[in-house]
Structure 1
Amino acid sequence: MRIEIWADVVCAWAYIGKRRLEKALEGLEPVETVWRPFRIDPAAPVPAVPLAGVLRDPLVDDALRACAPGLTPAENRVRVSRIAAAEGLGPPWGAAWHGSSHDAHRLLALAYRHGGASLQDAVAERIMRAHFVEGRDIGDAGALADIASDAGFGEAAALLADGAGDGEVKEAVLVGKARGVATSPTLVVGDRALAGAQPPEAIREFLRDAGRHAPRSLPPEVERFRYAEALLDRRDPLGALTLLGPLFGEHGADRNVMMLAARAYYASAQLGRAAAVLEELVAQVPDDSFARHLLGRTLRRQGRAEEAAPQLAMAAVMTPEYAE
């Protein structure tokens, strides 16, 4: 069994959830746990800034109050620190820096690629300990190099400096979004998910249930297509195009890939590209009413009303619901 842990390493509940998962797995058959990236704050600054100053911002204060209704941010921090202590984390406890976790996720992805789940888990443990217990800036290249070296991954510093893992992490974040991951941490086994740092008993029950319902595996290109489609449905056309990109070479002539790309181009206002793909689709299958309808709308948005009119009219004749 493979357990994917979709989490942000700057999320206290991710560290707490790690301890609870470890307790849940005690006495069970060995499983593979893989850390996947989730970003709580994609706009977090680079370089990091002291967290104390951020917490004095009234807007941040309001946002933190919404996260824990009925508690002030200070009261919630005390509550989380007590929960962390109960799981054997700290003292001391509490992050000191607010910054991007992107490079930390790059390090985790590289650790898995070069040393598998055991090395990745060792790196994850040290990253979160550095952030929450030692008060270090885990966005700092030197800190990440020290963390990696301590875990036995000495070559990581050079890899990070070369930008390794950047595209991999960005794509994985999109896959998580496509799969509906919205909380850090979220455990995923196959097509089943458990959100939040749940108690060990709940995790065990989740794993038993997930083990009884193994999903049918799909070819990688089909899975990628479905994730791209899900992103477009979630109003992220640029993300959909990012995931579609690797399919354009071998599967670029597939009508399903072409149509999804055209829809994503249209939704992201790349109208020239949308029109080019749709014109090819209409030429291939003249009775594709949806392709004609979308082509007409694309041409109209480009200011090409005379060219749009016959496409829209023909689409409406073929499919009356397209009549405007």
Structure 2
Amino acid sequence: MRVEIWSDIACPWCYVGKARFEKGLEAFAHRDEIEVVYKSFELDPRQPKGIVTPVAELLAGKYGLTPEQARDAEENIAANARSEGLDYRTEGRDSGSTFDIHRLLHLARTHGVEGELLNRAYRANFAEERSVFDPETLVTLAVEAGLDEAEVRRVLADEDAYADDVRSEEREAAELGANGVPFFVLDRRYGVSGGQPAEVFTQALEQAWQSRTVTQLLPVTASANDAEVCADGACAVPHADTHA
């Protein structure tokens, strides 16, 4: 059974949701029969390359927050990340165009190292002092993931390389009704939105596995975490009582 995951490197709930999904998958009895495919989604496809905005400034502008409130929002997401064993920096992070990252992820897919590059990009963006919006950092991450440096540089220099693949997957997400990420589609029959708890993913996998005759994409109800999603260039601000 295939699970497709639409996500963006700029989305902290995608970072958290990936860890939670993997825990949920580990608890699923048929986990060895699951194929996981990562798909492209830009939170802000209109963001021009080379323009980088501090995350705190982005949150403040999107939600009308004070700098203190923006920092609190980041701390809340950080607490969720750390509860999953993930490192998370709350200061000094930037936001920008992720189009080149997605293009490199498609290159990595052709070489079987997409998952490795995705993990390294997440860690660089959320846990380390490395900006994924710097082309040289992208080259370094791609090489660390196992790609050839010359090929990586050729792809980055050619703005058309894998561009259609990225846009095709983004159109696909829109056709499926996704307006934010992370967005999980199980066997093209169940949809899960947001960084849900691990047990929700296990439940969704079990539902999809047991109901093979369903042909309509159905949402998995998990109202407690509906806000744990990123959309329109920013992420929903978690409430103070949001659970980890």
TM range (shorter): 0.7 to 0.9
2:43 to 40, 44, 47: 40
Aligned residues: 206
Given residue 143 of structure 1, which amino acid in structure 2 is its aligned partner?
A: T
Alpha-carbon distance, 1:212 to partner: 2.3
Does the alignment pair 1:168 with 2:162?
Answer: no
Assess, with a 3 A threshold, how the Cα gap between structure 1 residues 215 and 182 changes in structure 2: closer, same or farther: farther
Tell me, in whole angstroms, the C-alpha distance in 2 between the residues paired with 1:215 and 1:209: 11
Alpha-carbon separation, structure 2, partners of 1:125 and 1:108: 11
Task: Return closer, same or farther for 1:44/1:201 CA change in 2, 3 Å cut-off.
Answer: same
Q: Percent of aligned positions with the same letter in both sequences? A: 31
**DSSP-derived class of the 1:143 partner:** helix
Larger helix proportion of the pair: 1
1:80 equivalent among 74, 77, 82: 77
The one-letter code of the counterpart of 1:156 is: V
Q: What's the C-alpha RMSD, in Å, of the aligned pairs?
A: 2.3
TM-score by length of 2: 0.76
The offset of 1:183, in angstroms, is: 2.0
Structure 1 Cα separation of the partners of residues 88 and 77 of structure 2: 12
Q: CA deviation at 1:93?
A: 4.4
1:1-324 equivalences under 5 Å are 1-28=1-28, 29-30=31-32, 31-51=34-54, 55=57, 61-64=60-63, 72-93=69-90, 96-115=93-112, 119-154=113-148, 155-163=151-159, 164-189=161-186, 190-214=188-212
Q: Could you say which structure has the larger radius of gyration?
A: 1
Query: Alpha-carbon deviations, 1:260-311, whole Å to 9, x = none?
Result: xxxxxxxxxxxxxxxxxxxxxxxxxxxxxxxxxxxxxxxxxxxxxxxxxxxx
Q: Which runs of 5+ in 1 are unaligned?
A: 218-324
Aligned partners of 1:90, 1:97: CA distance in 2, in Å?
A: 16
Query: Following the alignment from structure 1 to structure 2, what is the Cα–Cα distance between the partners of residues 143 and 215?
Result: 46
The separation in 2 between residues aligned to 1:199 and 1:50, in whole angstroms, is 30
Unmatched runs of 5 consecutive residues or more in structure 2: 216-244
Structure with the larger strand share: 2
Higher RCO (C-alpha 8 Å, min separation 6): 2
CA separation in 2, counterparts of 1:90 and 1:213? 37
The TM-score normalised by the length of structure 1 is 0.58
